[in-house]
Amino acid sequence: MTLFELLFILLFLGSMISLVTSAFRWRRGGARKILAALFGVWCVYLVILAITDVFSSQKIFKNGQEQCFDEMCFALAEAQTMPAQAVDPSAAAGSTIYVVKIRATSHSRGRAQAEGGLRGRLYDGGMYINVSDSAQKAYDTQHGESPKLTQKIAPGESIVCILVFEAPQGTTNPTLTLDHGFTPGYFVIGESPFFHNPDIHQLPRD
């Protein structure tokens, strides 16, 4: 846990206590002062969050370079492209299949861990492309199902997860992003993605 994560947790807990306290003091007239102070604290915090986020630079991971979430780390191992029809006959004409292999490693020194809620998406010029359910199923049928990104793994263990995307015609230079979707982490200083481009893994070009 980082210092800013701890700060956010303390601020959130403090806010909950303040709200409960203000509810009991509503008739005494002290509730407004508590709520005003709470509002001011959150305004200052959100301004710092926004400023920090604006000046944060996008992280670009090269092939094989790890992106870590605490002790769980993920790196692009391999990426292949092929005509969509070669994998999924139901795919749209002109689309391209991206088969992306991600190496997940646990650097934990104690117990087995998993990175719950983690997802992989392609990112191309502001457009996100999710895993194609039909293409993933077709690929798994042909090659066997791979472990999930969220699978629990033992300390020091590594697994390879395979994600299959169907990129529409016109996709030019997709990259891989790994994130947990919208979580409370969006409001942690230094981790918010509101005002800058997402961290990406560069896909090798053919």
Phi-psi region of 136 (alpha: psi -120 to 50; beta: other; left: phi over 0): alpha
Global pTM reads: 0.79
User: What is the token pair recorded at 187?
Assistant: 């409001």
Query: Each residue of 149-168: pLDDT tens digit?
Result: 999 999 999 999 999 999 99
Q: Which residues contact 71 (CB under 8 A, 6 or more apart)?
A: 106, 107, 108, 109, 113
Strands ordered across the beta sheet of 96-106:
67-69, 72-83, 96-106, 158-167
Query: Each residue of 172-199: pLDDT tens digit?
Result: 899 999 998 887 877 888 777 777 788 9
